[in-house]
A = this chain, B = another copy of it.
Amino acid sequence: MGIISEPTLLLNPDICRRNIRTMNNRIKKWGGVFRPHFKTHQSAVIGEWFKEEGVGCITVSSFKMAEYFARKGWEDITVAITATILNVDIINQLAAKINLNIVVEDGYTIQVLEEQLKYPVGVFIKADTGYHRTGMDADDLVEIKGLLNKLRDTRKLIFIGFLTHAGNTYEARGVDSIVKETELSLQKFLALKVFLKDSFPLMQLSWGDTPGCSVYDGFQGVDEFRPGNFVFYDYMQSEIGCCQLTDVAVCLAAPVIAVHPQRNEIVVHSGAVHLSKDRVTKGDGSCSYGKAVSLRGMEWDVESEIGEVKTLSQEHGIIKAHYDKIISLKPGDVIGILPVHSCLTANLMKKFLTTEGNLIQMMQ
């Protein structure tokens, strides 16, 4: 009996390390600081692979995640989700031990934090450069200057600069489109330095998104880079156009539980609780929850396509498959599924089995 008998998230360390090295080299070339987002892998072991490339500071997406990585020895952490007064206790616990940066975007929170924090923390103001999720509108200098005024005399909140997440690049399809979205956001972002550098000459600009960081090279003026997803990439990123399927470092091994040739369908034990219900809209308008490919042992073959995951329930996935692939499969075989969104799949699976047969745990 082989090792794999249930849905298992496989990880290829060579591809993963190559992704880390490539991104690290790009950012070095631009002269910036690499502060990778660890929300994609959430793993101390993979964190070590970053350390081996010289990375010394990280980004996380929650205070809980910051606690985990602080326990694992990381001493310079930015929590990229906007902080609120609810986070006072955990900020105090963390800032007692490590160099912590938080993100703010409103005056009330700044006021309460300044009163209640015990130790200094670095503060970024979240800037909205087109994604319209969180952040102060980067064009709204009046509002921004109002917030900066509140940070002028604070002793616990030490203003570092502006942080943006150019999530609008995820709507792009193809390198030209990624470049266009990146340039639109970057223009607004760099303008902040132009307008504010007289008052804040040491102000830093911190940029994060995998598509832009993967294909764009015009980042002069940006000081720090926080991409995260590139560590694994995924099916969505390949559709966006910033990587190849051969750059995807993870693949969900999924047992075949039923074969329905008359419907061109294979049913796999791989559902929403393994992949997530994130789906990608492809160039032809069709949707997919994952790309099914052949698996030999623990190696998957992106050239050997089986089909697309069309439907997901809690534990089941239905793949619309090519007929010649269906007739070669039977219940008990195991296939591979390249996940649409590797951050969400990893978050669900909570551990990896490497192609070398080692188990890597993630933050629980």
Contact = CB atoms under 8 A, between A and B. Distances in A.
Interface stretch (A69-77, A149-157, A313-321): A313-321
A64 interface: yes
A263 B132 contact: yes
Interface stretch (A19-27, A211-219, A273-281): A273-281
A137 to B, nearest CB: 9
A317 B62 CA distance: 14
A105 B87 CA distance: 52
A269 B81 contact: yes
B64 A258 contact: no
Contact of A86 (B87, B255, B318): B255
* Copies of this chain, whole number: 2
A304 interface: no
Interface stretch (A47-55, A178-186, A199-207, A341-349): A341-349
A347 B348 CA distance: 9
Interface of A: 1, 4-6, 39, 61-64, 81-90, 105-106, 108-109, 112, 132-135, 167, 255-259, 263, 267, 269, 272-273, 276-278, 311, 313-316, 318, 330-332, 334, 341, 343-344, 347-348, 364
A332 B255 CA distance: 44
Contacts of A89: 1, 5
A310 to B, nearest CB: 11
Given A39-B314, A314-B344, 8 more contacts: A1-B88, A6-B62, A82-B267, A82-B331, A85-B331, A109-B331, A272-B341, A277-B278
